[in-house]
Structure 1
């Protein structure tokens, strides 16, 4: 069985909801990340066997958004493209699916990742399909309905995460502290140029003409504990999750170029990382916040590693409560987790985040001279995915 390596990776900056990328389609963001990954690897697009990109909010985006992104990126008509929807884990699932294709011998090089334009999601009037006879019609916000609301309990993901926070004894103060940590670390990473290493600039329409967006819009230098403490809980008046300790809705894309080691050696493409293994789990719908920890446990058991063997963790901050709950479940060294901030600061374009955390993990391990890292993410419907990578020094 072959071995999968990652030979290229890039992402766009993550734009705030209704801000810099408001008029940019998801497929255009995806194309920018794809081109960045190809250029970084120095690989021609015609060597690809396929393109797999995650995207959750596909309503109104047209047929197969990944196919569109591939074409905008200049990829030939003859190279197939698939769009994956595993909610927030979509971008990671694209990578692990490619790993399975490569290990089985079905492919040698696959472009993977995820993309999302949360600003561009339409509203719908479901009852209009067969005619509105009398009275009012309900507008459905498809961003919330298809991306942020539990399809089983019909509540926002915040409600489920808040209940898990109470169950595991995660306080409002702890969540606000983690949120502040996320912003401070992200701002420091921006100042040091760390995040710029991941980002390809994108030109977007602006009020006064085209603008180049090359910096994440979410991180705030003016965030402090007092401001976070003043915010009221959302969706649950007795809860602990606020707009300050949850990520913003965002626009962005990330891409990872996966290949067999034999292909990389044959073509002279230097591996950035090796995929050691991955795992996926599921639990009852309300348990979404615990699934990254469950996936990490399964992955460690599957690969034979111990928690202390892992040098860095990237856990998607679907809410600040998520890494805090995972910490209570796993008893990890918090100093190894999200060292450059996370989604609370950077934003969470849901189809892209699973790929973004892998890219960020690889970049930081490389800066530290190599090592082992795990990226993990929860997703709607209470599933969790994790991937274990090795970066050589």
Structure 2
């Protein structure tokens, strides 16, 4: 087997981070991913160019975003023949897609690609119970007016109660922060140590912004 080709990250672009339900409350994953990818396309004059592949994705997304990365690729201005696919990995989507694109380049399958990820807790899909879901589907495939109405008559008020998905581990019911708290106790990491690390992280980030480190990495979005 030939030696794998060397791979390099030649550039990047992202939109600013924002707290949930604030600046990005009215936009979704598709808007944000498209904006970031478009910034990359503009930055490297890739409009109309065909890349070997684009890989990205989100963990929390609507069913309408089933082809999220493909739509973002088209919206960003890349050639429509550019292949694209989704990945969903909690807190690791961008890293995973970067590794996957790098592996394909290293093996000689493609020459260049783009990788990324996106997620918002401000536009989570609100879901309803199975009864309402079944009624909608049965009514949609009905042939007569009576058949379309019948499923709705069997519903009860409780069936219209919405459920906002919780960002928790299904098997434990705990959030990432709650799991981290268990880890900190097991590893005997004190609160003071955690606060010191968090504080230093913010100090470093503030200094980087002031020094212009992010000037060519972050693009404006949604004001």
**C-alpha RMSD of matched pairs (Å):** 2.1
May I ask how many residue pairs the two structures share in their alignment?
200
In structure 2, the residue matched to 1:152 is: 171
- Contact 2:20/2:121 (CA < 8 Å) preserved in 1? yes
Separation in structure 2 between the aligned mates of residue 186 and residue 109 of structure 1, nearest angstrom: 30
Q: 1:43 to 1:72 in 2, by over 3 A?
A: closer
- Which residue pairs with 1:13 in the alignment? 16
Q: 1:71 aligned to 2:94?
A: no
Task: Identify which of 123, 129, 132 aligns with 2:133.
Answer: 129
Look up the SS of the partner of 1:120 in the other structure. Answer: coil
Give TM-score, length-normalised by structure 2. Answer: 0.80
Residue 61 of structure 2 corresponds to 58
Displacement, 1:134? 4.3
Q: How far apart are residue 86 of structure 1 and its match?
A: 1.2
| Distance in 1 between residues matched to 2:115 and 2:51, nearest whole Å | 11
Deviation at 1:166, TM superposition (A): 0.5
Going by fraction, where is strand more abundant, 1 or 2?
A: 1
Structure 1 contact 54–93 (Cα < 8 Å) conserved: no
2:121 is matched with which residue? 118
C-alpha contact (below 8 Å) 2:30/2:68 kept by paired residues: yes
Query: For structure 1, which runs of at least 5 residues remain unmatched after alignment?
Result: 205-211, 213-393
**CA distance, structure 2, for counterparts of residue 113 and residue 72 of structure 1:** 15
Q: Is the 8 A contact 1:55 1:91 kept in 2?
A: no
TM-score by length of 1: 0.47
Taking structure 1 as reference, are residues 65 and 121 closer, same or farther at Cα in structure 2, changes over 3 Å only?
A: same
Aligned to 1:168: 187
1:92-107 counterparts in 2 under 5 A?
Answer: 92-107=95-110
Q: CA deviation at 1:54?
A: 2.5
User: Which residue number corresponds to residue 163 of structure 2?
Assistant: 140
Q: RCO greater where, 1 or 2, for CA within 8 Å and sep 6 or more? A: 1
Distance 1:28 1:135 in 2: 34
Deviations 1:48-83 (A, max 9, x none): 112111211122443311011111101222111101
Aligned twin of 1:25: 28
Q: Secondary structure at the match of 1:11?
A: coil
Question: What is the deviation of 1:88?
Answer: 1.1
Instruction: Tell me the SS of whatever aligns to 1:52.
Output: strand
Q: Give unpaired runs (5+ residues) of structure 2.
A: 136-153
| Structure label with greater radius of gyration | 2
**Equivalent pair of 1:7/1:41 in contact (CA under 8 Å):** no
Asked if 1:82 corresponds to 2:85, the answer is yes
